[in-house]
Amino acid sequence: MSESQQINSNHTPANQPFAGLTVVEISTSVAAPFAGQIFSELGARLVKVEKSTGDDARGWGPPFWEGASAYFQALNRNKLSIVCDLRSDEDLQALTDFIVAEADIVIQNLRPGQVEKLGLDGETLTRLKPSLIYCNLGAFGKVGPLKDRPGYDPLMQAFSGIMSTTGEPGRPAVRVGASLVDMGTGMWAVIGAQSALLKRQQTGEGGIVDVSLFETAACWVSLIGSQVLASGEIPQRQGSGASGIVPYRGYLTQDGEIVIAAGSDKLFGLLSGVLGHPEWVADPKFVDNPSRVKNQKELYAMIEELVARQPTEYWIKVLEDAGIPCSPVNNVLQMLEHPQTEALGLVQSVPGTGMRFVGLPLSFNGMRPQPLSAPPKLGEHSDILKESREAS
C-alpha cells in the first residue's frame, strides 16, 4: 500500500459523515483552506493543490511550528499536498484527469479569472463530469462592477462596514482581530457544498456553488443593517456594546475588564440592585430599553464609576449569584487554558506531532471530530496524480 493510500485509509472512520468523498482544494491563504479542513476533519479525502513555492500561508510567520507557520498548520491538518505547475500543460491535464476520475467536490479561491484561463473553472469541469460539485470562493462575487477585484479579510471588513462599527467612538476604525470573514466564507462554502450534495443524492447532478468574502461580510452585519434600513441612520462605533440594547457592554474593573449583558428589563432591575441603586428601575430615563438607549451616556457613566471600585473576581461572583449574565475579558491564553475549554476537549493534539489546535466547533453523538494526520509537507503526496493515471 502506498503512503497516500495509507493516509487516505485513515480518513474513513465510521463516525465521520464525509468519509468516501474526495475533495480537491485549489487554494491559498485562509478561506478555502479552512473549508477544506472542515471537509477533511469530517472524513473526506482532501487533496490540496499547491504551486511550487507552496501556499502563501506557509510563510506567514513567525511563529513557525514544525516546518511551517502556525497559521498554515492550523488550517491544513488531515490533508494531502500535491505540487502542480498550472502553467505546465502536462500537469494541468493530469490534474483535470484526476478531478474527472476521482473528485466529488472542487473548491478554489484563485484570483478572479485564473481558473477560466486554465480550464479549471466550474462550467468546464461540470461539463466533463456532471456529478461534480464545484465551489468558488471569490472576493466580491460573480457579478457586478467589482467582480474582478481580489479581496482579503481586512479589505472586506473595511468595505462591508464591519470596521466602521468596531472600536471606540471618536477613534479610528478597528479590524476584528479574528479572520471572521475568511473563515466565515469557508463555512458558507461547506454549507453550500453540503446542500449540493443533498441535491446530487436526489438527482445525480452536481453543480456550481458561489460564495464570496464580501457576501459573508455583508451577512455578518445584517442585524446592524436592519437597523440602518429601518431608521436611515448611520451607526456609530459601539466599543464593547451593541446598538439598540442597554446596558450591554464592557467595563473596567479595579484589576481588569468585565462584560455585563443586562439586556432586558428584568436583568436591568437585578443589576440595579447589585449596584446598590434599585431606584434606577423606576426612573423614567431608564424604565425600559428604548429609554435606556436614549439615555445610555448617563447610565453607562454611573455604572462605570461603580464597577471600577471592585476587582473582576468580586463582580463575577455577585453578578452570577444574582443571575446576571457576565464574563471576564479573557486573553486568548486564558481561554485556551480554561476548565470549560478543557472539559469540551476543544484543544486537540495532532497525531505524530507536538502541535495542538482548536478543533471544529461541533460534535456527533457527543464525539468531536479528531485530527487524523499532520499538516502535509509541500508536495508530500504528489504521487497521487501518477497513481491515478496508472489506475485508469
For 155-177, what is the mean pLDDT?
93
Task: Tell me the CATH number at 292.
Answer: 3.30.1540.10
Task: Specify which of 87-91, 243-247, 307-311 reaches the highest per-range mean pLDDT.
Answer: 307-311
Give all strands of the β-sheet with 45-50 in edge-to-edge order. 79-83, 45-50, 22-26, 105-108, 133-138, 207-212
Q: What is the pLDDT of residue 309?
A: 97
Q: How many domains does the chain have?
A: 2
Range of the domain at 284: 248-252+257-328
Q: Are residues 171 and 48 in the same domain?
A: yes
Q: Which of 300, 328, 356 is the last residue of a domain?
A: 328
Q: Is residue 54 part of a domain?
A: yes
Q: Are residues 131 and 14 in the same domain?
A: yes
The upper half-sphere exposure of residue 332, i.e. CA atoms within 13 Å in the direction of its Cβ, equals 5
Q: Are residues 261 and 303 in the same domain?
A: yes
**With bands split at pLDDT 50, 70 and 90, how would you rate the model's confidence at 385?**
confident
Q: Are residues 123 and 24 in the same domain?
A: yes
Task: Tell me the CATH number at 349.
Answer: 3.40.50.10540
| pLDDT over 70, % of the chain | 96
Q: How far apart are CA 200 and CA 381, in angstroms?
A: 29
Q: What is the pLDDT of residue 386?
A: 79
Mean pLDDT of the chain: 92
Q: Indicate whether 5 pLDDT > 70.
A: no
Q: Indicate whether 6 pLDDT > 60.
A: no
For 337-363, what is the mean pLDDT?
95
Exactly one of 55, 104, 153, 182 is catalytic; name it: 182
Q: Are residues 44 and 142 in the same domain?
A: yes
Q: Indicate whether 48 pLDDT > 50.
A: yes
Q: Indicate whether 7 pLDDT > 90.
A: no
Give all strands of the β-sheet with 257-261 in edge-to-edge order. 248-252, 257-261, 326-328
Q: Are residues 190 and 46 in the same domain?
A: yes
Q: Indicate whether 9 pLDDT > 80.
A: no
φ/ψ bin of 20: left (φ > 0), alpha (ψ from -120 to 50), beta (otherwise):
left
- Within the chain, where are the H helices? 3-9, 31-41, 70-75, 89-102, 114-118, 122-128, 153-160, 180-203, 213-220, 222-231, 265-274, 289-294, 296-307, 312-321, 332-336, 339-344, 383-391
Q: Is residue 357 part of a domain?
A: yes
Q: Is residue 198 part of a domain?
A: yes
Q: Is residue 302 part of a domain?
A: yes
CB atoms closer than 10 angstroms to residue 51: 14
For 283-305, what is the mean pLDDT?
96
Q: What is the pLDDT of residue 4?
A: 40
Q: Indicate whether 324 pLDDT > 80.
A: yes
Q: Establish whether 182 is a catalytic residue.
A: yes
DSSP count for the chain of H helices, then E strands:
17, 13
Q: Is residue 336 part of a domain?
A: no
Q: Are residues 316 and 365 in the same domain?
A: no
For 186-204, what is the mean pLDDT?
97
